[in-house]
Chain A
């Protein structure tokens, strides 16, 4: 690594002001605060942990869970029961509560996370209701509606943590540790992989990212923080009643997340502090402070969907403009690409068929793509090219037929597993997260590599690939700001970053000017010269002729021609497909 040693993770880059404010707040509390203020600040700390966990689930993984509040309640009950009934239990209360919540989340998540947004929200809501029902009705265990009074203070390694300052420091100390870990993880490739998985799951799978596993990890991790927060809450308050698992906890957590910010660690603290202190600060509104807080959340959703943390960050950038970030790395010498030299493992498609309702999108499609070969695919619009790519890469299941990479069957395997076999692809509508820079978007593709590279190494290699496809100048720009043609190039670079043996491109030249296409064709030839096989779908036959040797023509889901470019160009069947008859017009 020849990059500067100063990593520019957001947390270490800008955490000094945050620390100053936090210390000032603690000093202020010590000087002016009474015991009530300390208690409130402690509760804010427990809420901050809850919200931090929900940021993982909702903000990072994009799963609209409505069970986070109930998992908080579960943690509170586990901690209370352990400390009340087992003499040795007090010391274990905190970790046990976190583990219990994680266990329940793992059981629920394993079956429910694959549901679509609205079903997932409903399913988690049902689970939350079940937990709350159990809290109210399992009276012998939970004390029913009266709850469990007399929960002792927390205990760490046999030392009791008194309510008041010790507990306050424990809650916020745990938050600081958890927040630091989350910030570190999210500043690396994991954060990028989560961003892509949330916004473009198909694209994430196409570079080998196991989206389901990531979501599961985030869900369970978030639950652990919820359980921990619930346990702390039980120790602070001393009583646990079914209210801790009820809907208002969930709503408060969601609102705090939206107000504070969905992903920034600082936002979790801000949202939690606002949530717990709103009754105090809006006291002049009497019992209407919650109305005000709800309206504030609504306004935030509409006006500032990224929350207070984002507003503060923008303000800070305005007051103290950051020094223009030195270009992270000079272009490295091309990394040595050690190809997993699996002998002659070609891509074989045999009699593949796929129907949508009554429409046969693919009908008895067979071909072989040899290692290192370059093949183009043409055909009138709607002939099934994209469907075929989706079936090969596992995004759509084939109805019939067989697909092999070497001797391994690809059929029925998840898209990310197929990508890890060495098949990378691009999409017709470039699937890139708008806020991610081109460089980061490309670097994301190394997430699934074993071993996973460091972010700086990944960025250096990403810059290399961007330069190779001719988009090196765009590396610092967010993908959303790039014109359509450039976005496609970034996608090609991302696919190359996955170091594929087979590169599958869906209309890579669309949106580029004629000279740019010629340039891209030349660059693709160079990629191929490195030993990567190409399968390129496009309509521009001159572009294809410049980068592939062989063409197949798809018409209404069937292969009507297969051979050298010139032969297919002259093929009467191809003309028939395009013009309806063997006209005298020039070839397609």
Chain B
């Protein structure tokens, strides 16, 4: 495969992983715990895209892939709320490990529900941008990867602006830093945390719909995506948003290049080995300064 196409593919994959990792870190910061069901929210986004296309086709509507995305985001935002309601809200005053365990159970429920109602076979999500490859300076680039980069890039930029530039974002960061202190200042922390779950669900669902065209959608893929986000957060410095985004890009680049050079199996194995090495030699992450004693 030509290098340019390879790099665009890596970037597209990285952009989608960045969406997954962004939601993961938002919840991590807000709730102070790992959401193990995060990967299954990605999977459910893909399922939503496939199901929506089917339903619209049955009623005679044929929308372009892009038009579906807002619907997918809303549907997966609701999934995020569900996770908050079942996996976070009842356990909000318990140690973080409780939420970790609860979301593992929730992930199993999501996976089994998808198997039962959607079927175990992989299915392709609709393309966001159909058509022949684009020719840019004599290089042929698939439209789907390009569309993926644009959509995911816009979404990440939007969330970043929300966090950095708005009052809500400032409040959210205050809650992430010290929940009790933020409460003492009159910030409605729980409301913001639940909002973070909804936002994370929306981002994850968007990623699932975007990835589902090339990599298909199937019920068992959740843990794989969750692991990518988890690794991105760990190597990017626990809780750091830019670190996680960069981590996601690095993972995608690593996977694409090692897969091309060796094989997909080696890409996976080496990724896990690299992760273990990083956790041992630099537990504060590649970009982090220091890790807090967050459970």
- Assuming A123-B276, A130-B272, is B108 touching A115 (CB within 8 A)? no
CB within 8 Å of A: which of B85-100?
A: 86-87, 90-91, 94, 96-98, 100
Interface membership of B124, Cβ < 8 A: no
Residue pair A294, B105 in contact (C-beta under 8 Å): yes
Residue pair A117, B106 in contact (C-beta under 8 Å): no
Q: How far is the CB of A247 from chain B (nearest CB, A)?
A: 5
Choose among A62, A112, A121, A247 the residue that contacts B34 (Cβ–Cβ < 8 A). Answer: A121
Residue pair A123, B112 in contact (C-beta under 8 Å): no
Choose among B230, B265, B275 the residue that contacts A133 (Cβ–Cβ < 8 A). Answer: B265
Choose among B96, B108, B112, B275 the residue that contacts A122 (Cβ–Cβ < 8 A). Answer: B275
- In the bound complex, how far is the Cα of B98 from the Cα of A301, in angstroms? 7
Residue pair B275, A302 in contact (C-beta under 8 Å): no
Interface membership of A127, Cβ < 8 A: yes
Number of A residues near B (Cβ < 8 Å) is 38
Residue pair A255, B34 in contact (C-beta under 8 Å): no
Residue pair A129, B227 in contact (C-beta under 8 Å): yes
- Assuming A115-B283, A119-B234, A122-B231, is B294 touching A254 (CB within 8 A)? no
- In the bound complex, how far is the Cα of B116 from the Cα of A287, in angstroms? 6
Interface membership of B295, Cβ < 8 A: yes
Interface membership of A312, Cβ < 8 A: no
- In the bound complex, how far is the Cα of B27 from the Cα of A134, in angstroms? 33
CB within 8 Å of A: which of B61-109?
A: 86-87, 90-91, 94, 96-98, 100-102, 104-109
Interface membership of B279, Cβ < 8 A: yes
- Assuming A118-B34, A255-B105, A301-B102, is B112 touching A126 (CB within 8 A)? no
Choose among B97, B102, B268 the residue that contacts A117 (Cβ–Cβ < 8 A). Answer: B97
Residue pair A294, B108 in contact (C-beta under 8 Å): yes
Residues on A with C-beta less than 8 A from B102 are 298, 301-302
Nearest B residue (CB) for A133: B269
Interface membership of B17, Cβ < 8 A: no
Residue pair A119, B100 in contact (C-beta under 8 Å): no
- In the bound complex, how far is the Cα of B97 from the Cα of A77, in angstroms? 31
CB within 8 Å of B: which of A255-299?
A: 255, 258, 287-288, 290-291, 293-295, 297-298
Choose among B96, B100, B109, B234 the residue that contacts A295 (Cβ–Cβ < 8 A). Answer: B109
Interface membership of A251, Cβ < 8 A: yes
Interface membership of A429, Cβ < 8 A: no
Residues on B with C-beta less than 8 A from A295 are 105, 109
Main SS class of interface, B:
helix
- Assuming A117-B96, A119-B283, A291-B116, is B91 touching A301 (CB within 8 A)? yes
Interface membership of A64, Cβ < 8 A: yes
Nearest B residue (CB) for A118: B34
Residues on A with C-beta less than 8 A from B97 are 62, 64, 117
- Assuming A117-B295, A301-B91, is B279 touching A137 (CB within 8 A)? no
Nearest B residue (CB) for A134: B269
Residue pair B276, A294 in contact (C-beta under 8 Å): no
Residues on A with C-beta less than 8 A from B94 are 305
Interface membership of B177, Cβ < 8 A: no
Choose among A127, A287, A305 the residue that contacts B276 (Cβ–Cβ < 8 A). Answer: A127
Residue pair B283, A290 in contact (C-beta under 8 Å): no
Number of B residues near A (Cβ < 8 Å) is 42
- Assuming A127-B276, A130-B273, A302-B90, is B112 touching A118 (CB within 8 A)? no
Interface membership of A424, Cβ < 8 A: no
Interface membership of A125, Cβ < 8 A: yes
Q: How far is the CB of B30 from chain A (nearest CB, A)?
A: 15
Residue pair A123, B34 in contact (C-beta under 8 Å): no
Q: How far is the CB of A436 from chain B (nearest CB, A)?
A: 17
- In the bound complex, how far is the Cα of B96 from the Cα of A119, in angstroms? 13
- In the bound complex, how far is the Cα of B37 from the Cα of A294, in angstroms? 12
Residue pair B98, A126 in contact (C-beta under 8 Å): no
Interface membership of B201, Cβ < 8 A: no
- In the bound complex, how far is the Cα of B108 from the Cα of A297, in angstroms? 10
Residues on A with C-beta less than 8 A from B269 are 130, 133
Interface membership of B113, Cβ < 8 A: yes
Residue pair A297, B276 in contact (C-beta under 8 Å): no
Residue pair A290, B108 in contact (C-beta under 8 Å): yes
| Chain A positions 127 through 168: 1 when the CB is less than 8 Å from some CB of chain B, otherwise 0 | 101100100110000000000000000000000000000000
Nearest B residue (CB) for A305: B98
Interface membership of A116, Cβ < 8 A: yes
Residues on A with C-beta less than 8 A from B106 are 294, 298
Interface membership of A586, Cβ < 8 A: no
Interface membership of A111, Cβ < 8 A: yes
Which B residues are closer than 8 A to A by beta carbons? 34, 86-87, 90-91, 94, 96-98, 100-102, 104-109, 112-113, 115-116, 223, 227, 230-231, 234, 238, 265, 268-269, 272-273, 275-276, 279-280, 283, 291, 293-295
13 CB contacts below 8 A, A to B, read A126-B275, A129-B272, A130-B269, A133-B272, A258-B105, A288-B116, A293-B108, A294-B106, A294-B112, A297-B108, A301-B91, A301-B105, A302-B91
